[in-house]
Structure 1
Amino acid sequence: MGGLLDNNLEDWDKVSEINIKGTLHLVQEAVPYLKKDEGGAVVFIGSAAAAIPSEDFLQMSYGIGKGALKTATHYLSKELGPLGIRVNNVAPGFKWGPVLESAFQAQADQYDLTLEEVTKPVKDKMALRRFPTDDDVAKSCIFFCSDYAKNVTGQNLYVDAGYVLN
């Protein structure tokens, strides 16, 4: 969490190691198997944080790492496309679940507010005024892996209830 001035850049190495290098290593290892099966689909889990910095939770290193995956989606779709391998990116925004709920609850407790009082300003920045769930993200991944998306590659799909539109 935090921005450039709040963090030690060496600590960012851990985030980059996981979000960028770890993900690309997995793709590299999967390509021979995907080629053998005459193609397939790679779906990255990105983040809306790559497109729009949140005023509510500053997470610069995370957003930059996920931005790199968004760029890798474009490069890899061109490189792996001739092998029949599609590459896409699903980018959730604020996703309701235990991690987000506990972060908001900590904020509510800190300022003696209700959970609704803390979440409402964030939801108000979303066109649909609600938090997506893990299930919403999973269904988007299933779409990219399905035959419905057999001619879809190099795309970034925000699953953020319209947060990036803000």
Structure 2
Amino acid sequence: MSTSQVQKVVVVTGASQGIGADLVAAYRKLGYGVVATSRSIGVADDPEIVTVRGDIADPDTADRVVRAALDRFGRIDSLVNNAGIFVAKPFTDYTAEDFDVVTGINLAGFFHLTQRVMPHLLATGAGHIVSITTALVDQPNSNVPSVLASLTKGGISSATKSLAIEYASRGVRVNAVAPGIIKTPMHPVETHETLAGLHPVGRIGETSDVVDAVVYLESAPFVTGEILHVDGGQNAGH
């Protein structure tokens, strides 16, 4: 990065492992300063990565993340709402605790941080928000009961389009990536073969597939309100 360029800054949630950790690495390759948050994240060796440990469902975490970004970098250009939880149960088996946990992380986490980051994205004149949802929102599968995912991540898909239109004339783009099942620590190796069968292409995705989609959206100034499916064909049908 030349000294004449202003360093851009991204906030990444759910950043300690899997897709989130790879997103942090990808944005660093792009030259961004990164504020990375999760419940278990440790201190980073890279001075251009600031870490904030906290529960994304707690509004205080959002406040601390924004404060850390401004204290270290003085600006926020992008937000990746990657933190999420998936609980697959038959509808009537969900407990009140399941509801509170899933809506807390998936919905409240998205709402509190996005709302607090937005003024800083507007200030840059070219901000970007991208959220990670799930292909099951658009193509439910009887093999994977997922009402709480649809309720919460489906809400984010709708909010993505709503925010994209609300801020289209004000320089902030808002997009989402809807992955299929991705090879992360969430899925034990012994389940991979079964999970692969849920995708028309016959395999599960890699974290790099999702990261590449986010990086594309980051560099696509004419794309907003897009739900980009990275799902091995699930959205097209079964």
| TM-score exceeds 0.5 | yes
1:135 aligns with: 208
Structure 1 gap segments, 5+ residues each: 108-114
Query: Residue by residue, what CA displacement relative to the aligned partner does 1:62-120 show, whole Å, maximum 9, x if unpaired?
Result: 222110000001110011212210000100011122322x1x62x6xxxxxxx64xx2x
Measure, in 2, the Cα distance between the counterparts of 1:9 and 1:50. Answer: 21
Matched, 1:44 2:131: yes
2:100 aligns with: 13
Deviation larger for 11-20 or 35-44: 11-20
- The size of the alignment, in residue pairs, is 150
1:158 aligns with: 229
Is contact 1:49-1:66 (8 Å) kept?
A: no
Q: Which has the higher contact order (CA 8 A, sep 6+)?
A: 1
Report SS of the residue matched to 1:55.
Answer: coil
- Residue identity over aligned pairs, in percent, reads 31
1:1-166 to structure 2, matched below 5 A, reads: 1-9=88-96, 11-100=98-187, 102=188, 105=190, 116=193, 119=194, 122-146=195-219, 149-165=220-236, 166=238
1:110 aligns with: none
1:76/1:99 Cα in 2 relative to 1: closer, same or farther (>3 Å)? same
Is contact 1:127-1:161 (8 Å) kept?
A: yes
Question: Counting strand residues as a fraction of each chain, which structure ranks higher?
Answer: 2
Aligned Cα root-mean-square deviation (Å): 1.8
Measure, in 1, the Cα distance between the counterparts of 2:186 and 2:94. Answer: 21
Is contact 1:3-1:61 (8 Å) kept?
A: no
Measure, in 2, the Cα distance between the counterparts of 1:96 and 1:55. Answer: 21
Measure, in 1, the Cα distance between the counterparts of 2:109 and 2:199. Answer: 31
Instruction: Give runs of ≥4 in structure 1 deviating > 4 Å.
Output: none
Is contact 1:40-1:145 (8 Å) kept?
A: no
Query: Residue by residue, what CA displacement relative to the aligned partner does 1:38-73 show, whole Å, maximum 9, x if unpaired?
Result: 121100101112112233332221222110000001
Normalised by the size of structure 1, how large is the TM-score? 0.81
Question: Counting helix residues as a fraction of each chain, which structure ranks higher?
Answer: 1
Measure, in 2, the Cα distance between the counterparts of 1:55 and 1:95. Answer: 19
Report SS of the residue matched to 1:98.
Answer: coil
Report SS of the residue matched to 1:164.
Answer: helix
Measure, in 2, the Cα distance between the counterparts of 1:137 and 1:74. Answer: 19
Query: Residue by residue, what CA displacement relative to the aligned partner does 1:127-156 show, whole Å, maximum 9, x if unpaired?
Result: 32221111100110011111xx10111110
* Residue type of the alignment partner of 2:227: N
